[in-house]
Chain A
Amino acid sequence: MSAQSLNISALHLGETEQKILHVAVRLLQEDEFACQLLGDSDCTGHIVVLDMDSDAAAETLQKLRSSQIKILLADEQRSDRNLVSLAKPVHVETLRFVLGKVCKQLMLHLQKTYDEIVQPAEFSQPTEIASEVNDAEDDYEEEESSLLLVMLEARDQKKCVKIEEEGMPTIYIDGNKSTIASEMDYEHVLEVGLHNNEHHLHKSEFGEKDVDTAADDISLSSLDNFLWELTLKSSENILPDDIDLDTPIKLKAWPNFTRHGFHPDNFKIAALLARQPNSQRNLIEATGLGEEVISRFINSCYAVGLIEVQNDENPVEVPEKRQISEERSGLFRRLAMKLGIA
């Protein structure tokens, strides 16, 4: 084993979590992290991913060495030395982010102590890596938090979060029911989301019951519809690092364009993506639209869970290219004009 190679144990994981972990590790390997998954029930990894929902998990946790970094998948949040807990259902991106942070910290640590160590159990110094990771995550939130990111996090982690600012009616986000509520009307909440930098928003979690009580006399709307519109109007980029201009992306379904969100350009992009996976760069070329228009659309689709990275392992069939005559496209243009939508 070289100093840079990190072993990851997967213990008591269900089939889905196992797959998610596999993908997260593979993505890390593609990013040149030297890490590998150990075989079934091998608990000697530098990092141990443990599903706490299984009965035997608590006992296993007791037996692990204090120097091993534990990533617990659990509904209940716990904190301890060298321990990170992630709410279920855990997403590939979350697991990859956390594993990436842990690997980075561990590698630095391992490099320092490589000469003295033979096994991870014999770290010369007790490590506090997991708490560093937690700190790093907190910093990240402090710096980057925006209404959009808070909403995405609430939705993905099924949390109830309220956003407050002095003098502003509270915004309630219910990640379980996928709704937002506020005494402010929809347009005002949208304005807050579009001008984060003019606000000092404070977020905190609260019980689901409060949202029901609060929602009695305030307006409710669908979180997805709101996210769709906010991302379409905002220039904030929420795409994960592995989606760049050249990444082929796939549309999972035609987005629910509400009457609010309708814009002819977006139909063009959606139609192209519906036909076959495409990179943003190709879309810019094919539509003649600006990078920002394409990017906002892709961000919106990503926000409502409709974008998937097209990887080579399961290629989708590329449909035959449709031949459209000059005459046909002229006809379509005229019809669009007549209907007042060109």
Chain B
Amino acid sequence: MNMVNDKIIFTGPVGAGKTTAISSISDTPPVSTDVACSGEERAIKDTTTVAMDYSYIELDNGRRIHLYGTPGQQRFDFMWDVLTNNGLGLVLLINNNNPDPVGQMEFYLDAFADFIRKTGVVIGITQVGISDNATLADYQSKLMERQQIYPLFEIDGRSKQDVRIMIHALLAVLST
């Protein structure tokens, strides 16, 4: 039994809410490698995760589920394979407030296609109320067009309940 295999990966573009979502359900504050943003990211947010987020949930038998967040910036995409290796499943977060968020969803679904096929994915759209770049129906139609029936939710990354519901859907997918 390899404990480090028990991990759930959170991914998505800069500012999607990965670090926030991990903190909202984990037992300890995430070990983050957030640094002050530079360059174009500065327009989006103050800090960004440069290597990865890490935290865990401890189960009643002492076993840990590890939560990893991939860095949002694409120049770190070499980390993605390492992080997903032997993972349980994927949480994809998309910030609706970014330009072309539906395109971003497609990008990540393609980038993680192998991992998703072997495990499962759940998609959370954050900041839906803030911008009307896309509606949930737009994401849904894109998934229908791609014939991918993946759990899709509108969530607030800061809400523990929303993140829990997403993880629950992921577990349902992984259990069937």
Contact = CB atoms under 8 A, between A and B. Distances in A.
Interface of A: 251-254, 256-257, 259, 262, 264, 267-268, 270-275, 322, 324, 327-329, 331-332, 334-341
B153 interface: yes
B169 A271 contact: yes
A168 B86 CA distance: 58
Contacts, number: 90
Contact of B168 (A254, A256, A274, A339): A339
Nearest to A340: B164
Interface string B129-172: 00000001000100110000111111000000110110111011
Q: How large is the interface on B (under 10, 10 to 19, 20 to 34, 35 or more residues)?
A: 20 to 34
Interface of B: 1, 6, 25, 57-61, 63, 65, 136, 140, 143-144, 149-154, 161-162, 164-165, 167-169, 171-176
30 contacts: A252-B144, A254-B143, A254-B149, A254-B151, A256-B140, A256-B154, A262-B165, A264-B168, A267-B168, A268-B175, A271-B175, A273-B149, A274-B149, A275-B176, A324-B174, A324-B175, A328-B174, A329-B175, A331-B6, A331-B59, A335-B57, A336-B168, A336-B171, A337-B59, A337-B60, A338-B58, A339-B25, A339-B167, A341-B165, A341-B168
B144 A253 contact: yes
Contacts of A262: 165
Nearest to A178: B137
Nearest to B118: A322
A342 B106 CA distance: 31
A273 B25 CA distance: 28
B164 A341 contact: yes
